[in-house]
Every structure is written in structure tokens, then in C-alpha cells.
């Protein structure tokens, strides 16, 4: 392979190793890092290394280094870390938050700069081009809320200009005073739980409270939940299956019976701060501990698959300390100042790092000839990292005797990065890479680095996942696992999936081979066994047709009335062989029997007779229907005219009495004044001329219960005026026995399009009020059920109509006291009415407010003065109006949800109000806030609210941001077929039920007993015959709730096509 060839350029070999060294139930142990402030590669690569190292990690054996993160990096993988064996370094980050929320203990077994266990420094980024050097990003929150102990070392926090809220931490409670920690603090800190400063004198170290019984066990660190050694949050020395101890169970025990030292069956090894049954395979066992390297005078030997330290017999092979171990513990890399220490070494306890010279320490460049010192090295216990190499050396042959790389210190065992002049490696003696991954990256001329030659070197299964391409893929390779990820197929391609054979003779669906692809046969081809079903994908390429054959094509049926050339229709029939044959030219249609075919003759005379007769029948039926409709219309008009005349007679009677009184007043004024004893005190209020109709209980019939409350039960019913042949849908409210009929007086006194009025009253043992029936129910349920269909214009129109209705009540001196979305009913989606006057109070002309005497009240809709002083005015209704608007804008959310009613007054006095709904702009929300002012006089009047919302309703998209999913309802014109009127509606959810007492007035001239679509709350709908009236002029459809013989259709069938097909099947003549 030539240098720079396809295999040599940018050769990259990534063989992953999980960074888990040892794990106990529920605790995953990670090795940690010792890179300090070194950036190896790009910042993105550095971040990926941190994610691989610390993801799902609970215990870090060595150091936790969080460095060089960018502002968009997610550091959430640090949330699982609970314990760190070395130091914690947080430096050079631009991320706003370091979420070490579960970190409880920092042991400080290795210290940064020999002094610090926790170091937070230089976490910011600033705009160097600005004259003021503005800080654009950096650390803002240091989330160490669970940190309760640092066993050794001090704390240094400096140069974090954006870090805030960290000025109250008692660091003396965290650090161990016996270790004389160094403290350098320029910071603020988060809230903290004290576990040492407030302990009783009897406690040796930590406690969970101020009493002596709250002392933690002496082996505990970072606090506890009880007095036992098993109740520790973390262990000071070692953890043995959840129990804190000062030492792990020893390997040997003295047997007093035999007076000898015997093996301990429960022996464990110390691994970090944990007792384990066996050491990790890439660690060395010595004196009951898991260590990286053997001590002085000892050498490493493998016994029964376990690396152990044994005492040297004579002179030991020379083992030298590498970078990060012994005298080189604080050294960054091999350089001219320390390369002499590697002369004649056969084993390196630590790492070999070769990077560019750092001019900051004024270290001269290393003599390339001194790299020959590494020719005697046979084993490296850490890792080998090469980022800099002399340009006159084109290979790494100085390591030709290297046999083993243990990889005990990090997740990299071998890394050769950015050496563009390197031609080959030269590791001819390398036999094993115990742990870690091998990275060869950005070496432009490196060759001889095939991936497969590394697999036999790996000892851990995690290093080589052996994930290869599927066997159906060619040698070109694949993009992922499985036969659907192949770059190209070895045999055949079946719609993106590589297969060995196509379904030519068996299997479903049958297929045919086309350009190395398995193509499905046409659905009209007959499945055949042992012979191919088709020889192509088209209907004209079938071996045999499944149904019929029209020319060369297989078809499901022969043509019947298909449009041909010009205005001719094509009719065919199937003969005995299934071949489609044309009908005789004199036939309009034909069909086939077993032995003969029959055609229907095209006799023009019979056709003419049929047409004329049909037209005549249609005209007669139309006339009959017209007469019946007109008769019904006249009957309804007379009934309604008589009802209106009765009301006008009552009004005229009152007016006539007033006129006669004025005539006598002029003639008798003098005598009247003389005889007057008490002075007049006129109120100036107009007389209440409302007409109250007294109904018999036999005139109406209850159908079903619509709802019930504290003041009574509401039924749906039919009002049948005595002597009339009409049925008017109404709502019947039966008041409870203890309830006075004052609501009837209030409701009979109102007459406004947006206020529900009273039609009549029945004075039975329980007073019954008969009112208009609102088919859509209350506005609260409607916006909850149709929140995806309600747009900005509807919301603002409802607000305008409610304001108009409340302004009318204010002009009539009527305080509602219970305004809420549940008490606003819908006549139709464009028309709302205010109802439920159970709490309403009529003020006299001189009254400005009303004082109630307790009872059931809607606390969360009431103004503050109404809650505290039981005072109700028109301005307290304005407060309730603001809450009602908030309910609409949040599509039926509960106000102050989660807050008890007893605490509402305290919440309002603190200044808290309902939050701004997501759909509202600041203009709409500020109107709500004005309605909730403490001072009633500061709240707007209803006439002002009416004007404001009318202005907003003219431009709804400017004031509300609502995402609506409304499909336009398709409404076809009515078609008269055999005297029956049909209406076809597209999307039923967009044409909702509508009923009104004015239906009989507006729509008297159309048919009854017509098929309609009924709306059901569960999302299904059906067709049926029911009494209804259709307004053909406005193309609307009215619905009645008669549940019988429904053909249920699921939501998935709501398309126009499905509805039209269903209409056509059930009612012939409808399209």
C-alpha cells in the first residue's frame, strides 16, 4: 500500500473499552482521569472522552476532571457520581451548570498541586474583541448540594466571574481540620446541610442531628441515616457489601484450634475504598490489595490467570516509574529533563507520554537519539500516548520489544495521534493489550494498520465487540447491523433488505427477479406452486389471472359502464374462460350465465316512458311535500304569534293603567296634595314589566338529567303547549325544597341575547323553572373537549359576548355573584349566554353593594373583598369575569389548582395572581390583571371591557397565538331524490350540534324526518332517522340526541370519501 493511499490516509482504529473497572450491586466504579489541564485533541473529542468515562458512574477511583466543556455541552452524565477517590477539578469550562448533585464524598487520596481536593477555576469565556472584555458564557451554578465531606486536602475556587449564590458555604464543616487543608476562596456557594459543626460533643466525627443519639458510626463519612455502620452515606475507609469497616477481611486467619494461620474463606481484596472478592484482571494482587504496580524488590508474575507480585530472587528486572507514578507523579510528559530515568528499563510502572515541548517551563527539546532508551521496554502498565515524534523517524521501532500494554490508568491503552510523517508502527513484539482502546487518528501516511490484526491482542471482550456486517452484504461493507444496512447486496435486494433468494416458487408475496431485485407480482396474479407466478411487476405480466382477463391485463372485474372514446360507455362480460368479452352493440348492459349470456335491449320508447313517468312522480311528490311543509309552517307561526300576543297584552295593560293615572292626576292634583300624609320617596327605577308564564306540570316532559348542583337538578325536556301540536326542547330546573324561587324573579327580569331567560315556571311542591335549552352545554366543557378546534376569533368573540351580557346585568342593577365558564352556555359555537342565577342579587337604585350571610360560594372566582367581607358589587363581578377569561384562554384549566380554598385569601393578599396563559399576548393578560386589582374602583367597567375585547376581536391573530387543527367542513348542496332531502357533511367534528328555540321561527319551510348525523362525545358518529329541521340556505345541519340504530364509524374513517360511501350505502340516491 502506498503512502497516502485509501487505507493509509487518516487511518482510524477505534476499539471501544467500557471504562468500568469493578462494580457492586447498584454502584458502578470508574477509573478516572489524570490529565489535569491537558487538552488531548479537539474540545468535542475531549467532551466525548468525559462522557464515555463517567456515564452511569457512581464511584471514581482516581480523579474527576471536568474540563474544556463548551456552552452547548450537556453535563447531565455527572449526576450519578457519588464518590471520588482523588481530587475534583472543574476548570476551563463554558457550560453554565456542573450538576454534581449526588456527590457526597471527596477522599483526596491524590491532591491537585499537592494541596487541593476541590479546584474550581477559570470557568468562563469572554469577548476578547470587546473593549470591556464582556463575559459571554461560563459557570453559573456549582451544584454540590449533597457534598458533605472532604477527607483530605483543601479547596480552591478562583476566577469564576459568573459563578453566583455561593457565599454561605461553611467549608470548615466539609474539610478535615487534622489534615491542615489549604483554603483559597473567591466564590459564592449553594445551600448546605451541616453534618459536623452542630454535632454533640459525644460524636467523634459526623452526625445527623444535634443530639447524642444522632451521632454517626466512627467509620462513616459524609453523614449517615442511623447509628450503625450500615447506615453510612459513605465510608471513611472501606465498604464491605454496604458495611463500613476500617479494613477489609484479611486473606489469612489464625485458627486457635490448630494454632496455625489458615486461609480466610471470606477474604476480600481492597480496591480503592471497596472490598472485592477478586481484583480486576488488569490489576496486580499483592498483600490483599489490588494495585497498579508492584513495590520495590518485587516483580509481576501471572499465576492461574491472576497477576501477582512476587519477591525477586536476586536482582529484579528493572522497573521504572512512568509519567504519573512515583517521582514523575506531577510530570506531564517524557522530556529532556527526565528521559534519563528510562535507561535500561524493562517495565514502566505508569504511562509513556510523548507530546510537544512546553516552552512555559523552558525545557529544551529532547535528543531523538535518547528515544533508544525505550528499546529495552517490554511492558507498560499504563498507556502509551504519542502526539509528537522526530521527523527523521518514520516508525515507532524503538518500541519493537514492547510485549504488553496493561492500560490500567485510563480508557486509552495506545494512542498515536497527529503524526503526519509516520509510515508504519513497528510493534513487532506486541502480544497483548490488556484493557483500554487503541486509537490511531490523523496520521496521513500511516499504513499497515488493518483492523483485524488487533483483535487477537485484546483480552477483554469489551475491547472488541466483533460487530461485523451481515452475511448478505458484499465486501463493500455496511452502514450498520443487519441485512437492511448493506451498502450493496451479495444476492438480491428486497425493498431495501438483502436476501438470499426471492419468493419465486413459494412464500408470500410471490416475486420476480428484476436486475438483482425481488419485485412483487401484481395483486391480480394467481398464486402458483412449482411454477413462477409472474414474469414482471405489471398486471399484464401474470402467468395466470386470479379473476378475469381483459385483453392482456388481469383485472378484478370486467368493465361495466366505463367511459370509452367520445360519449360511449363500454360494457363487457366474462366468458367461461374468464376472458372479458364485449356486449352486443344493441345492448346497454349484459351479464353471463353458465351456458348463455343475456343483454338488456336499448329500446328508446321504454326509456322515454320511464323518464316521463319518473318526472311526473317527482313533481307530484314535490307538491305534496310543499303543501305539508307550508301547513306545518303556518301552524307554527300561529302558535308563536299567539304566545307573543299574550306577552304584549300584559305589557299594554300596564301601559294603559299608567295613562289613566296621568289623566286623573291633572284634575285631582290639588285634592291629592291636601290629603297626602306621608311624603313621596320615588326611587327613579323603571317598573319591571316582565311577563312570567305559569305552566302546568302536564305541559312538559322530562327526558334525562343534564346535571345537578347545590341549588337544584337540571333536566332535558320537551315543552308541549296546551292545545298545540308542537314540541319545543327546553331545560327544566327543579329547585330544592329549601331554595326560594327568587331565581325565577331574576331570570324573568332579563331579556338580552347573551343572558339566558326564563320561559315559564311551574309551582309544584318543588319549584320548576323552564328555560331555553342550550344543546352545546356549558362553555367550560366545550373548550376542554374541542381545544384543538377553538381558534383565536372564537375565544375573543366569547369574551365580547360575556362582557355584553354582564354589562346588561350591570345596567339592570343585577349582581351575578357566580360568573364562571361553567355558568356560560352555548346556543351555538358563535353564541353564548350567561345563566345560573342561583347566587344573583338584584340591587335597588340606592344600593351600591350587597352583603351576604354565608353559604356555598365559589371562592376561587371571588374578589378579595367578597372573600374577606362578603361584599358583592358589579366590580366584584369584574374580578370573576377576569377569572372566566383566564379559563377560556387556558382551555378549561382550574384556577389556583392545588391551592386549598382556605388559603386563597392569603395568596391574593401576597399579590399572587393567575399566570399568563401561553396563548395570550401581554395586551390580553394586562386586561385580566386590571380585573384583579385590589381596589374595586381601579378595575374596568363591563362597558370598557366590551369595547376592549371588541377591538381585539377585529384582529384576533395580533392578540392571541392559537394553533388550530380545523379541517374545513365540506357541505354539499341538498339534492331532491324521490321527494326526500339529504345533506352530506364532511368532517363531523367541525359541524357540531346546534339547537335553538328559534329554529321553529327561522326554518319552518323544510322537511322533517330527514336523515341527520348525530354527534357523540366519545368521538364516534352515526346515521339515523330523527326529528330535525335543515336550513338549506345556510347549509347547516342540526342534531338531536336520539340514540337508536346507529351505524358506528371510527375516527379513522372521517375522510369525506368514507362519509359519502356510507351515505350512499344506507340511503340510495345520495352522493
CA 169 – CA 225 distance, rounded (Å): 22
Distance CA 1065, CA 125 (A): 72
| Distance, CA of 894 to chain centre | 21
The answer to the question of whether 706 is labelled as a binding residue is: yes
Distance of alpha carbon 219 from the chain centroid: 45
Contact (Cβ atoms closer than 8 angstroms) between residue 587 and residue 599: yes
Rounded CA-CA distance 995/863 in Å is 35
Contact between 14 and 48 under an 8 Å Cβ cutoff? The reply is no
Residue 21's CB is within 10 A of a number of other CB atoms, namely 23
Is the distance from CB of 310 to CB of 287 less than 8 angstroms?
A: no
493 is annotated as an active-site residue: no
Torsional sign, CA 107, 109, 110, 112: positive
Q: With CA atoms as reference, report the closest residue to 54 among 90, 96, 13.
A: 90
Q: What is the secondary structure of 986-1018 as a DSSP string?
A: S-GGGS-----TTHHHH--SS-SSEEEEEE-TT
Best CA proximity match to 171, nearest among 152, 150, 186: 150
- Give the span between the Cα atoms of 163 and 122, in whole angstroms: 10
Taken in order 298, 300, 302, 307, the sign of the CA dihedral is positive
CB 629 within 8 Å of CB 981: no
DSSP state, residue 317: P
Q: How far is CA 1016 from CA 486, 789, 790, 1009, 1044, in A?
A: 51, 16, 18, 20, 12
711 is in an annotated binding site: yes
* The C-alpha cell that represents 1003 in the structure block: 326554518
**Residue 464 CB partners (closer than 8 Å, separation 6+):** 15, 454, 455, 458
191 marked as part of a ligand binding site:
no
Closest by CA to 234, choosing from 27, 64, 377, is: 27
Q: Is 407 annotated as a binding residue?
A: no
CA neighbours within 13 Å on the CB side: how many for 306?
14
List the grid coordinates of 787.
381545544
Is 805 annotated for ligand binding? no
Q: Is 707 annotated as a binding residue?
A: yes
Q: Which residues contact 447 (CB under 8 A, 6 or more apart)?
A: 1, 2, 3, 5, 7, 8, 11, 423, 424
Measure Cα distances from 400 to 226, 372, 424, 546, 630 in Å: 58, 11, 12, 74, 111
105 is in an annotated binding site: no
User: Are 999 and 1038 spatial neighbours (Cβ–Cβ below 8 Å)?
Assistant: yes
Asked if residue 712 belongs to a known ligand binding site, the reply is yes
How many whole angstroms separate alpha carbon 638 and alpha carbon 239?
Answer: 96
Contact 791, 783 (CB under 8 A): no
Question: Is 568 annotated in some ligand binding site?
Answer: no
Q: Is 277 annotated as a binding residue?
A: no
Q: Which residues pair with 981 in a beta bridge?
A: 976
Helices (H), 153-283: 171-174
**Cβ neighbourhood burial of 1015 (10 Å; 0-12, 13-18, 19+):** buried
Which of 173, 818, 836, 877 is catalytic? The answer is 818
**Cβ(284)–Cβ(301) below 8 Å:** no
**Known binding residues for ATP:** 706-714, 733
Question: Which residues are tagged catalytic?
Answer: 818
Annotated binding site: 706-714, 733
Amino acid at each position: 500500500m502506498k503512502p497516502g493511499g485509501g487505507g493509509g490516509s487518516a487511518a482510524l482504529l477505534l476499539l471501544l473499552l467500557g471504562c468500568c473497572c469493578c462494580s457492586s450491586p447498584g454502584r458502578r466504579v470508574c477509573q478516572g482521569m489524570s490529565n489535569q489541564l491537558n487538552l488531548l485533541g479537539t474540545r468535542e473529542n475531549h467532551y466525548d472522552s468525559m462522557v464515555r468515562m463517567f456515564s452511569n458512574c457512581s464511584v471514581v477511583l482516581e480523579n474527576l476532571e471536568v474540563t474544556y466543556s463548551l456552552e452547548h455541552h450537556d453535563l447531565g452524565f455527572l449526576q450519578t457520581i457519588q464518590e471520588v477517590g482523588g481530587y475534583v477539578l472543574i476548570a476551563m469550562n463554558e457550560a453554565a451548570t456542573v450538576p454534581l448533585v449526588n456527590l457526597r464524598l471527596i477522599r483526596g487520596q491524590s491532591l491537585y498541586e499537592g494541596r487541593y481536593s476541590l479546584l474550581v477555576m477559570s470557568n468562563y469565556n469572554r469577548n476578547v474583541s470587546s473593549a470591556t472584555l464582556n463575559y459571554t458564557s461560563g459557570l453559573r451554578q456549582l451544584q454540590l448540594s449533597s457534598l458533605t465531606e472532604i477527607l483530605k486536602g483543601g479547596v480552591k475556587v478562583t476566577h469564576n466571574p459568573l459563578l453566583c449564590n455561593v457565599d454561605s458555604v461553611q467549608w470548615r464543616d466539609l474539610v478535615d481540620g487534622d489534615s491542615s487543608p489549604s483554603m483559597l476562596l473567591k466564590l459564592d456557594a449553594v445551600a448546605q446541610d451541616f453534618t459536623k459543626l452542630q454535632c454533640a460533643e459525644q460524636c467523634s466525627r459526623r452526625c445527623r442531628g444535634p443530639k447524642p443519639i444522632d451521632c454517626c458510626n466512627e467509620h462513616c463519612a459524609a453523614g449517615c441515616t442511623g447509628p450503625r455502620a450500615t447506615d453510612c452515606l459513605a465510608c471513611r475507609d472501606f465498604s464491605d457489601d454496604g458495611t463500613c469497616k476500617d479494613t477489609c477481611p484479611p486473606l489469612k486467619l489464625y485458627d486457635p484450634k490448630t494454632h496455625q494461620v489458615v486461609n480466610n474463606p471470606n477474604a476480600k481484596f481492597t480496591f480503592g475504598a471497596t472490598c472485592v472478592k477478586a481484583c480486576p484482571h488488569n490489576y496486580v494482587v499483592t498483600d490483599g490489595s489490588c494495585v497498579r504496580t508492584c513495590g520495590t524488590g518485587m516483580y509481576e508474575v501471572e499465576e492461574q490467570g491472576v497477576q501477582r507480585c512476587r519477591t525477586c530472587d536476586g536482582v529484579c528486572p528493572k522497573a521504572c516509574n512512568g509519567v504519573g507514578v512515583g517521582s514523575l507523579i506531577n510530570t506531564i510528559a517524557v522530556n529532556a529533563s527526565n528521559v534519563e530515568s528510562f535507561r535500561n528499563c524493562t517495565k514502566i510502572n505508569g504511562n509513556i507520554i510523548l507530546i510537544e515541548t512546553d516552552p512555559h517551563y523552558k525545557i529544551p527539546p529532547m535528543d531523538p537519539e535518547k528515544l533508544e532508551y525505550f528499546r529495552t521496554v517490554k511492558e507498560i502498565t499504563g498507556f502509551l500516548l504519542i502526539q509528537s515524534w522526530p521527523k527523521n523517524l518514520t516508525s515507532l521501532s524503538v518500541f519493537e520489544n514492547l510485549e504488553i500494554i496493561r492500560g490500567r490508568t485510563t480508557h486509552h491503552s495506545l494512542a498515536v495521534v497527529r503524526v503526519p510523517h509516520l509510515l508504519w508502527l513497528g510493534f513487532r513484539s506486541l502480544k497483548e493489550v490488556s484493557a483500554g482502546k487503541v486509537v490511531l487518528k490523523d496520521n496521513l501516511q500511516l499504513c499497515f494498520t488493518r483492523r483485524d490484526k488487533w483483535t487477537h491482542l485484546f483480552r477483554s471482550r469489551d475491547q472488541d465487540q466483533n460487530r461485523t456486517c451481515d452475511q448478505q452484504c458484499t465486501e463493500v461493507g455496511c452502514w450498520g447491523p443487519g441485512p437492511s444496512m448493506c451498502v450493496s447486496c451479495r444476492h438480491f435486494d428486497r425493498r431495501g433488505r438483502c436476501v438470499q433468494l426471492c419468493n419465486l416458487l413459494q412464500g408470500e408475496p410471490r416475486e420476480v427477479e428484476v436486475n438483482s431485485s425481488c419485485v412483487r407480482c401484481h395483486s391480480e396474479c394467481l398464486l402458483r406452486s412449482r411454477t413462477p407466478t409472474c414474469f414482471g411487476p405489471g398486471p399484464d405480466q401474470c402467468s395466470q389471472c386470479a379473476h378475469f382477463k381483459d385483453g392482456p391485463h388481469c383485472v378484478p372485474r370486467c368493465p361495466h359502464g366505463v367511459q370509452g372514446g367520445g360519449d360511449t360507455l363500454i360494457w363487457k362480460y366474462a366468458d367461461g374462460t374468464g376472458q372479458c368479452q364485449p356486449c352486443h352493440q344493441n345492448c346497454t348492459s349484459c351479464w353471463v350465465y353458465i351456458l348463455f349470456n343475456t343483454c338488456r335491449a336499448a329500446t328508446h320508447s321504454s326509456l322515454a316512458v320511464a323518464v316521463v313517468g319518473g318526472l311526473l312522480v317527482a313533481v307530484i311528490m314535490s307538491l305534496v311535500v310543499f303543501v305539508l311543509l307550508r301547513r306545518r309552517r303556518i301552524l307554527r307561526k300561529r302558535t308563536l304569534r299567539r304566545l307573543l300576543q299574550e306577552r304584549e297584552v300584559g305589557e299594554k295593560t300596564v301601559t294603559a293603567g299608567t295613562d289613566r293615572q296621568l289623566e286623573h292626576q291633572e284634575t285631582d292634583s290639588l285634592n291629592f296634595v291636601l290629603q297626602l300624609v306621608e311624603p313621596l320617596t320615588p326611587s327613579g327605577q323603571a317598573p319591571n314589566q316582565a311577563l312570567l308564564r305559569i305552566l302546568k306540570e302536564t305541559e312538559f316532559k322530562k327526558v334525562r338529567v343534564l346535571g345537578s348542583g347545590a341549588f337544584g337538578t337540571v333536566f332535558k325536556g320537551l315543552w308541549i303547549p296546551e292545545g298545540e301540536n308542537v314540541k319545543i326542547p327546553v331545560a327544566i330546573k327543579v329547585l330544592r325544597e329549601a331554595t326560594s324561587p327568587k331565581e325565577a324573579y331574576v331570570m324573568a327580569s332579563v331579556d338580552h341575547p347573551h343572558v339566558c331567560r326564563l320561559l315559564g315556571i311551574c309551582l309544584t311542591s318543588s319549584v320548576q323553572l323552564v328555560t331555553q335549552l342550550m344543546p352545546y352545554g356549558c362553555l367550560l366543557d366545550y373548550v376542554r373537549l374541542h381545544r384543538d378546534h377553538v381558534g383565536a376569533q372564537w375565544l375573543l368573540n366569547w369574551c365580547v359576548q360575556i362582557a355584553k351580557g354582564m354589562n346588561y346585568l350591570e345596567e339592570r342593577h343585577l349582581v351575578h355573584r357566580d360568573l364562571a365558564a361553567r355558568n356560560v352556555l352555548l346556543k351555538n359555537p358563535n353564541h353564548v349566554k350567561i345563566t345560573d342565577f342561583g347566587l344573583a342579587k338584584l340591587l335597588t337604585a340606592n344600593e351600591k353593594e350587597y352583603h351576604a350571610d354565608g353559604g356555598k360560594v365559589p371562592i376561587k372566582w371571588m374578589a378579595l373583598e367578597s372573600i374577606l367581607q362578603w361584599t358583592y358589587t358589579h366590580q366584584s363581578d369584574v374580578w370573576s369575569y377576569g377569572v372566566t377569561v383566564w379559563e377560556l384562554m387556558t382551555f378549561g384549566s382550574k384556577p389556583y389548582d392545588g391551592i386549598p380554598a382556605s388559603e386563597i385569601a392569603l395568596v391574593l393578599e401576597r399579590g399572587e395572581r393567575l399566570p399568563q396563559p401561553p396563548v395570550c399576548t401581554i395586551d390580553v393578560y394586562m386586561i385580566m390583571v386590571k380585573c384583579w386589582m385590589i381596589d374595586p374602583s381601579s378595575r374596568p367597567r363591563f362597558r370598557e371591557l366590551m369595547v376592549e375585547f371588541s377591538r381585539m376581536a377585529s384582529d384576533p391573530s395580533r392578540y392571541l397565538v392559537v394553533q388550530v387543527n380545523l379541517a374545513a367542513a365540506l357541505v354539499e348542496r341538498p339534492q331532491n331524490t324521490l321527494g326526500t332531502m339529504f345533506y352530506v357533511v364532511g368532517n363531523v367534528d367541525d359541524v357540531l350540534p346546534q339547537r335553538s328555540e328559534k329554529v321553529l321561527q327561522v326554518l319552518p319551510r323544510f322537511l322533517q324526518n330527514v336523515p341527520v348525523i348525530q354527534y357523540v362525545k366519545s368521538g364516534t358518529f352515526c346515521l339515523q332517522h330523527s326529528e330535525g329541521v335543515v336550513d338549506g340556505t345556510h347549509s347547516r345541519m342540526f342534531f338531536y340526541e336520539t340514540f337508536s340504530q346507529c351505524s358506528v364509524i371510527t375516527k379513522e374513517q372521517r375522510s369525506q370519501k368514507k362519509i359519502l360511501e356510507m351515505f350512499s350505502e344506507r340511503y340510495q340516491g345520495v352522493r
